[in-house]
């Protein structure tokens, strides 16, 4: 199975700055999803982007997908301390159902 | 989105025993999944729980160790059998929101510690 690989592993920024996290994968995908996990809490679904889409927005979140480079990015604009969490990308297998998670990016937003 | 609950939320168990984790969804869903998240790690898919048939296990996971039940479209259980300290993890169930949507939503997880 393939795996999304997030980059960087850890990111520390000041409140109000933008945070960009990247995800690369190895083989063709049908969909890619981004999740957030606050420390000791469950996963929260952020955005799903399909292979025929290039960009999606949700509030302060912007996700791009470049299938030619097999990569995706998650941009959080005007970050807040509450955005401090781990962010995971998940790519599906060829059957489009079983998602495989990357190791995650730990984002720290400092007040 | 579907509301997913899990029981227990956490447990401390002795090695050699078994624990059954329940996952309840407030709406009927076709696809349910079980994941494991070891300390400081990302998530790993254990199996897909199919209603009316045997679960489909991922490489490295076997039915004897992780038996799964899926008696209906809103409920599933995962049993962690003959536990060892290496089984200490968070176990999460997830559902696919809307058949064919590919959007997965997760329960709050069960934090298992094996001593």
Whether pLDDT at A18 is above 90: yes
Chain A positions touching B92 (Cβ under 8 A) are 42-43
Buried b (16+ CB within 10 A) or exposed e, A71-104: bbbbbbeebeeebbbbbbbbbbeeeebbbbbbbb
Can you give the pLDDT at residue A42? 74
Which residues of A are less than 8 Å from B102 in CB distance? Answer: 30-31, 33, 48, 50, 92, 96-97
Checking DSSP bridges between strand A31-37 and strand A19-24, what pairing results, if any? unpaired
Question: With an 8 Å Cβ cutoff, are B48 and A48 in contact?
Answer: no
Position A106 pLDDT exceeds 80: yes
Query: 10 Å Cβ neighbour count for B71?
Result: 10
Contact B19, B84 (CB under 8 A): no
N- to C-terminal Cα distance for chain A? 39
Looking at chain B from residue 25 to 54, which residues have their Cβ under 8 Å from any Cβ of chain A? 31, 33, 35, 41-45, 48
Closest to A30 (Cβ–Cβ): which among B1, B31, B102?
A: B102
B21 CB-contact burial (10 Å; exposed 0-12 / middle 13-18 / buried 19+)? buried
When pLDDT is cut at 50, 70 and 90, the band that residue A4 belongs to is low
CA separation for the pair B66, B77 (Å, rounded)? 10
pLDDT at A2: 46
Which chain A positions have a beta carbon within 8 Å of B45's beta carbon? Answer: 98-100
Retrieve residue A4's tokens. 């999304």
Residue B76 CB: number of other CB atoms within 10 A? Answer: 26
Three-class SS state of B26: coil
Q: What is the DSSP letter of B12?
A: E
Q: Give the torsion sign (CA, B111, B30, B18, B67).
A: negative
Residue whose structure tokens are 């990302």: B42
The pLDDT profile of chain B, 115 residues, written as one tens digit per residue, is 788 999 999 999 999 999 999 999 999 988 899 999 888 788 888 999 988 888 989 889 999 999 999 999 999 999 999 999 999 999 999 988 766 666 778 898 999 999 9
Question: If you average pLDDT over residues A92-107, what whole number do you get?
Answer: 75
**Among residues B55, B41, B56, which one has the least CA distance to residue B91?**
B41
Q: What is the 3-state secondary structure (H, E, C) of A40-86?
A: CCCEEEEEEEECCCCEEEECCEEEEEECCCCEEEEEECCCCHHHCEE
Nearest residue on chain A to B34, alpha-carbon basis = A98
Under 8 Å CB pairs connecting chains A and B tally to 53
As beta bridge partners, residue A92 has A99
Task: Say if the Cβ atoms of A42 and B107 lie within 8 Å.
Answer: yes
Q: What are phi and psi of A83, to 5 degrees?
A: -80, -5
Beta pairing class for B104-106 and B75-80: unpaired
């Amino acid at each position: 199975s393939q795996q999304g690989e997030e980059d960087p592993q850890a990111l520390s920024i000041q409140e109000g700055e933008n945070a960009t996290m990247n995800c690369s994968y190895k083989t063709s995908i049908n969909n890619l999803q981004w999740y957030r996990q606050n420390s000791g809490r469950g996963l929260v679904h952020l955005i799903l982007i399909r292979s025929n889409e290039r960009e999606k927005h949700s509030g302060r979140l912007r996700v791009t997908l470049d299938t030619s480079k097999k990569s995706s990015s998650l941009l959080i604009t005007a970050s807040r301390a509450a955005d401090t969490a781990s962010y995971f990308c998940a790519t599906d297998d060829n059957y489009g159902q079983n998602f495989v998670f990357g190791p995650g990016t730990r984002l720290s937003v400092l007040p | 989105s579907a509301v997913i609950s899990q029981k227990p939320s956490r447990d401390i168990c002795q090695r050699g025993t078994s624990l059954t984790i329940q996952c309840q969804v407030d709406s009927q869903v076709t696809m349910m999944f079980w994941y494991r998240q070891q300390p400081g790690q990302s998530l790993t898919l254990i199996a897909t729980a199919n209603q009316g048939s045997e679960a489909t296990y991922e490489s490295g996971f076997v039915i004897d160790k992780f038996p799964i039940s899926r008696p209906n479209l809103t409920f599933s259980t995962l049993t962690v059998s003959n536990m060892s300290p290496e089984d200490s993890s968070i176990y999460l169930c997830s559902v696919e929101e809307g058949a064919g949507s590919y959007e997965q939503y997760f329960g709050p997880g069960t934090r298992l510690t094996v001593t």
